[in-house]
């Protein structure tokens, strides 16, 4: 029947998975917390948060009709998103503000989809977003990073059992929400030492004349609220 394969794919995407036992969800959260809290594992995994951070800048630039010139991801887990447009105004402010809150908001969205049982849809949405970012990457390390992450997500979505997919989805949601908080704390620590004069918060301070510390506080509030609500969705 015409449209049969597409309909079958759509049904697979919107199919719901039963939630794993509560202890599995709790263990996934503890493991994610350990990865974020332990310096060695955080250094290895922080690049995933950077991908979400730069993706937030890029998405907001597109939504505010700024010209997106490209994204670079670096081996020291830093990144930069290049845009063109008015150097001031709401579009620039929103683009600069989107980075630090993006991982937490993406994690909250992942928690909402996972709580609803749409694990397969979540994995495929991640693949689509990574593919869009790949088209914008302007350095070799960034390309390799996105291909590695996208390949891992594809393998989970294509080869893993529904139970394994569910555990990965819960763990990813926890990691993004917990991992979204730590860079904000690190940012303020660097700012106190004068080591981040061109951070997003300081750029926003120059754009809006609102103190950079207040922007950092706003980032922190958004990330903590996202973690609290997302954690509630996952556990309850």
DSSP 161-226: -HHHHHHHHHHHHHHHHHHTTHHHHHHHHHHHTT--TTSHHHHHHHHH-S-HHHHHHHHHHHHHHH
pLDDT greater than 50 at residue 135: yes
9 pLDDT above the threshold of 90: no
Residue 6, pLDDT > 90, answer no
Mean pLDDT score across all residues of the chain: 94
Name the DSSP letter for residue 16: -
Average pLDDT over residues 99-109: 98
Q: Give the bridge partners for 81, in sequence order.
A: 71
> CA 126, CA 69: separation in Å to the nearest integer?
22
Across 55-72, average pLDDT: 96
> φ and ψ at 85, to 5 degrees?
160, -165
Q: Kindly report, residue by residue over 200-226, the tens digit of the pLDDT.
A: 999 999 999 999 999 999 999 999 999
Q: What pLDDT does residue 1 have?
A: 44
DSSP 17: -
Residue range 79-103: mean pLDDT, rounded? 95
Sign of the alpha-carbon dihedral angle for 44, 147, 57, 137: positive
pLDDT digits (tens, 9 = 90+) for 170-199: 999 999 999 999 999 999 999 999 888 899
Average pLDDT over residues 147-157: 96
DSSP character at residue 15: -
pLDDT attached to residue 7: 73
Per cent of the chain over pLDDT 70 is: 97
pLDDT at position 2 is 53
Burial class of 183 by CB neighbour count within 10 A (0 to 12, 13 to 18, 19+): buried
Secondary structure (3-state) at 2: coil
pLDDT of 3 reads 58
Q: Which of 12-26, 74-88, 103-117, 158-172 has the lowest mean pLDDT?
A: 12-26
Q: Which residue has the tokens 């939630």?
A: 19
Query: Per the structure block, which two tokens stand in for 52?
Result: 């979400």
pLDDT of residue 224: 98
Digit-coded pLDDT (tens) for 41-58: 999 999 999 999 999 999
Q: What is the pLDDT, as a whole number, of residue 236?
A: 85
């Amino acid at each position: 029947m015409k449209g049969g394969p597409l309909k079958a794919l759509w049904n697979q995407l919107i199919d719901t998975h039963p939630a794993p036992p509560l202890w599995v969800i709790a263990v996934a959260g503890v493991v994610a917390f350990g990865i974020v809290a332990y310096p060695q594992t955080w250094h290895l995994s922080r690049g995933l948060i950077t991908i979400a951070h730069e993706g937030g800048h890029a998405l907001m630039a597109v939504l505010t009709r700024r010209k997106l010139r490209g994204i670079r991801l670096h081996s020291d887990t830093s990144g930069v998103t290049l845009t063109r447009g008015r150097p001031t105004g709401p579009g620039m402010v929103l683009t600069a503000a989107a980075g630090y809150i993006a991982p937490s908001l993406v994690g909250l969205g992942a928690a909402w989809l996972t709580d609803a049982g749409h694990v397969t849809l979540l994995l495929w949405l991640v693949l689509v977003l990574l593919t869009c970012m790949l088209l914008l990457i302007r350095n070799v390390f960034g390309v390799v990073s996105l291909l590695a992450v996208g390949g891992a997500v594809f393998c989970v979505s294509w080869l893993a059992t529904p139970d394994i997919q569910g555990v990965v989805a819960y763990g990813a949601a926890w990691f993004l929400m917990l991992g979204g908080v730590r860079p904000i704390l690190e940012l303020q620590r660097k700012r106190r030492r004068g080591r981040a004069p061109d951070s997003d918060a300081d750029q926003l301070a120059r754009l809006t004349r609102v103190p950079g510390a207040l922007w950092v506080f706003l980032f922190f509030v958004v990330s903590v609220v996202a973690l609290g609500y997302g954690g509630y969705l996952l556990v309850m």
